[in-house]
């Protein structure tokens, strides 16, 4: 077995138990129930969503918090110009937030059999549907969008963590673009396309940002001043840095580190930045770069092995991150120091 194969095998064992699952082959065909459901296995996203709408699509990312689904992201595309009105979606306790990546000629919606709206949706605009209302949809024109599936339980838990009242509903004006969501959508797509396994801490943080945006901007949630707090206690900062160093190459999530600090993920992410001046995923990237430098100077390991040991997943992703942070490729950096 080659050195790279052994390293991959070792790192795969470390990665077990991650709370973020990037799903390229999700296949959910659960039978719908007549009553509103909050069972994540029945969620209207991924393959279940794309098949219902008659489009191409799959779940890109599913984010769990404390073992419960908090957010699912599905990419939907369709080149057909006309599609029939869909059947009613079985009622469930969640919201569907559709973010248009391209212009759509017409999107019509019915709730409980009654027409709600019909019109064009430009790229960057958003439609929000409460899935309790048995929605039906009809789309006209080429389609490219991201669906964010948000269970009500996730919003309730997020509000509770921040000392806020429960979010009653989510809403957004259909003719307005959401530039913040457009930015997060673009960053999320890039992170997933590059290397989801080594980007999990980053994707986790994007997920928290999305949940906060939906709860506050779409749901009007206002955190309690008492919960906003300050930074980490010294022991918490020390423990967070220890676990990041110890699990440098594993699929570490914010939830993993937060649990060690006895904090919720959102509280930890906010407090870590206040204490260190950087986000958790940025700190982890810095640790990985420093370890990569040490290995390149002290060993003759191939760059592919260095990338795996330091948690970058593959050499191409390692090269991109290293070049962006250091200003030179790993190979050029190593040669410059060996020649000196």
The percent of residues in the chain predicted with pLDDT above 70, rounded, is 84
pLDDT score for 334: 92
pLDDT at 151 over 90: yes
CATH 2.60.120.10 for domain 20-178: yes
Same fold across 3-14+223-339 and 20-178:
no
Q: How many other C-beta atoms can be found within 10 angstroms of the C-beta atom of residue 183?
A: 11
CATH code at 3-14+223-339: 1.10.10.60
Residue closest to 151 by CA, chosen among 108, 203, 214: 214
CA 263 vs. chain centroid, Å, equals: 20
pLDDT score for 289: 93
In this prediction, residues 108-129 reach a mean pLDDT of: 93
- β-bridge partners, 102: none
Query: How is the chain split into domains, by residue range?
Result: 3-14+223-339, 20-178
In this prediction, residues 140-164 reach a mean pLDDT of: 92
In this prediction, residues 241-270 reach a mean pLDDT of: 87
> Do 123 and 103 contact (CB within 8 A), yes or no?
yes
| Cα gap 282→278, rounded to integer Å | 6
In this prediction, residues 126-147 reach a mean pLDDT of: 95
Cβ neighbours of residue 204 closer than 8 Å, sequence gap 6 or more: 19, 20, 63, 253, 254, 255, 265, 281
> Do 280 and 240 contact (CB within 8 A), yes or no?
yes
pLDDT score for 229: 60
Residue closest to 62 by CA, chosen among 51, 46, 39: 46
Residue closest to 75 by CA, chosen among 98, 106, 107: 98
pLDDT score for 123: 94
pLDDT score for 16: 40
Cβ neighbours of residue 335 closer than 8 Å, sequence gap 6 or more: none
pLDDT at 82 over 90: no
Helix (H) or strand (E) holding 257, with range, is helix 254-260
pLDDT score for 225: 56
- Residue pointed to by tokens 């200003």: 327
Distance between terminal CA atoms of the chain?
A: 35
| Cα gap 188→200, rounded to integer Å | 11
pLDDT: which is higher, 224 or 11 = 224
pLDDT: which is higher, 163 or 47 = 47
pLDDT score for 94: 97
In this prediction, residues 167-189 reach a mean pLDDT of: 92
pLDDT score for 266: 83
| Cα gap 340→338, rounded to integer Å | 5
3-class DSSP state for residue 22? coil
Q: How many other C-beta atoms can be found within 10 angstroms of the C-beta atom of residue 44?
A: 23
Per residue in 193-217, pLDDT (tens digit) is 876 666 788 888 899 899 999 999 9
Per residue in 258-289, pLDDT (tens digit) is 888 888 888 888 889 889 989 898 899 899 99
pLDDT score for 47: 94
> Do 219 and 170 contact (CB within 8 A), yes or no?
yes
Residue closest to 135 by CA, chosen among 117, 120, 156, 122: 117
Tell me the pLDDT of the chain averaged across its residues.
84
């Amino acid at each position: 077995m080659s050195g790279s194969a052994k390293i991959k095998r070792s790192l795969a064992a470390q990665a077990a138990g991650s709370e973020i699952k990037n799903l390229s082959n999700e296949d959910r065909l659960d039978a719908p129930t007549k009553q509103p459901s909050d069972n994540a296995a029945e969620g209207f996203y991924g393959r279940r969503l794309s098949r219902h709408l008659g489009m191409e699509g799959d779940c890109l990312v599913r984010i769990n918090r404390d073992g419960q689904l908090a957010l699912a992201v599905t990419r939907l595309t369709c080149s057909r110009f006309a599609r029939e009105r869909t059947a009613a979606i079985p009622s469930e306790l969640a919201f569907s937030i559709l973010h248009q990546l391209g212009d759509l000629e017409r999107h019509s919606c019915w709730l409980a059999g009654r027409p709600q709206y019909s019109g064009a949706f430009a790229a960057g605009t958003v439609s929000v549907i409460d899935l309790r209302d048995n929605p039906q949809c009809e789309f006209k024109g080429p389609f490219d969008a991201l669906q964010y599936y948000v269970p009500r339980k996730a919003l309730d838990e997020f509000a509770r963590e921040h000392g806020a009242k429960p979010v009653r509903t989510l809403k957004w004006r259909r003719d307005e673009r959401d530039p913040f969501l457009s930015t997060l959508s673009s960053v999320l797509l890039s992170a997933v396309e590059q290397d989801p396994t080594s980007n999990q801490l980053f994707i986790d943080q994007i997920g928290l940002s999305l949940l906060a945006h939906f709860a506050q901007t779409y749901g009007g949630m206002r955190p309690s001043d008492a919960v906003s707090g300050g930074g980490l206690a010294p022991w918490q900062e020390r423990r967070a840095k220890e676990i990041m160093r110890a699990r440098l190459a594993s699929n570490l999530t914010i939830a993993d580190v937060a649990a060690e600090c006895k904090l919720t993920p959102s509280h930890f992410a906010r407090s870590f930045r206040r204490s260190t001046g950087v986000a958790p995923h940025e700190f982890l990237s810095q640790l990985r770069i420093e370890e990569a430098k040490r290995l390149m100077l002290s060993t003759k390991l191939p760059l592919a092995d260095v990338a795996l040991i330091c948690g970058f997943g593959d050499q191409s992703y390692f090269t991109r991150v290293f070049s962006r942070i250091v200003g030179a490729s790993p190979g050029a950096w190593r040669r410059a120091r060996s020649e000196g």
